[in-house]
Amino acid sequence: MSVPRRITLAELLIGVGVLAIALFLLCYGMHYQRSEARRTRCRNNLSQLAKGMETYMSEPLYPWPVGRPGCGTKASPDFGGAEWLATLYWTHIVPDPDAFNCPTSSDNNGSGRKIGSHGCPGSKRLSPDAVSYAGMGDVSIGVWLANHDGRRDGRTTLGRRELLTEKMAIRADFPGTEPMACDDTEEPINHGRAGNGGMNVLFFDSHVEWWTHERVDLERGVGTGELVHLRN
């Protein structure tokens, strides 16, 4: 009768190592799938906002946010891109409050309570976690003109300062190649970390691109570089 061969320590360590690698790959795969699903949901959110903005700007007199509580009032004369996007919720064009929050962000608008039914709750500026996307704001057209189209023979049609502070309604014919919205750069970063993450960027022709950290600063990208005219 033969004696069963004992497993050597080396074989045992190899087996444990293989099992550990398999578990690591399984966990990594599940994490990647969850991250990809959330990134896809974020992209779908931006696409939904793009469709809403298309409807919004197709109205003969689309509702400029000024005058709504917290937007353009005496107490708070300015508004940013988050308030502009929130207008889609206030006008019931995009009634789903989840569309305004990136699923990988810790932002939570409380099922719309932090967005408000008609304007910013309490007539204050929009809560930072009510909308986890940046967009066109009150001075965005002026900023864009000063950096792109405002120059004629080396001079601007208006002074640079006037362009940067001029409040102008967002035009329906804004260039399709220009960003309309993106993940915001307020903490926390929506997708990954500053050194290895990325962000979804929505353009006026309604397509969404994934920009890595090598193209845009994930902590300060909004309001600078190619996203110069976007605001949190």
pLDDT score for 155: 45
> What's residue 79's pLDDT?
80
β-bridge mates for residue 199, sequence order = 211
**Three-class secondary structure of residue 144 per DSSP:** helix
d(CA 217, CA 199): 10
Q: What pLDDT was estimated at residue 139? A: 83
154, 148 in Cβ contact below 8 A?
Answer: no
Give the Å distances, CA to CA, from 54 to 59, 88, 97: 9, 10, 18
Q: Where are the domains of the chain?
A: 12-231
Alpha carbon distances (Å) from 231 to 24, 82, 133: 40, 7, 9
Tell me the DSSP string of 36-105.
HHHHHHHHHHHHHHHHHHHHHHHSTT---STTSTTSSSSS-----HHHHHHHHHHTTSS--GGGGS-TTS
Contact 48, 42 (CB under 8 A): no
pLDDT at 8: 74
Per-residue pLDDT of the chain (232 residues), as tens digits, is 566 667 676 766 776 676 767 666 665 555 556 667 878 899 999 999 999 988 888 776 666 777 788 787 666 667 888 988 999 999 899 999 999 999 888 888 999 999 998 888 887 888 889 999 999 888 888 888 888 754 443 444 556 666 677 677 777 778 889 999 999 888 777 887 777 888 999 999 999 999 999 999 888 889 888 998 898 8
CA nearest to 180, candidates 45, 86, 83, 46: 46
Question: How confident is the model at residue 232, as a pLDDT?
Answer: 87
- pLDDT, residue 194, reads 72
Q: Which residue has the tokens 């967009």?
A: 135
- The pLDDT of residue 9 is 66
CA distances from 186 to 40, 133, 158, 191 (A): 20, 9, 32, 12
Residue 137's pLDDT is 84
Tokens at 101, concatenated:
């929050």
CA distance 104 to 115: 19
Phi then psi for residue 202, to 5 deg, are -100, 135
Which residues, including other chains, have CB under 8 Å from residue 120's CB and lie 6 or more apart? Answer: 68, 69, 70, 71, 76, 83, 86, 126
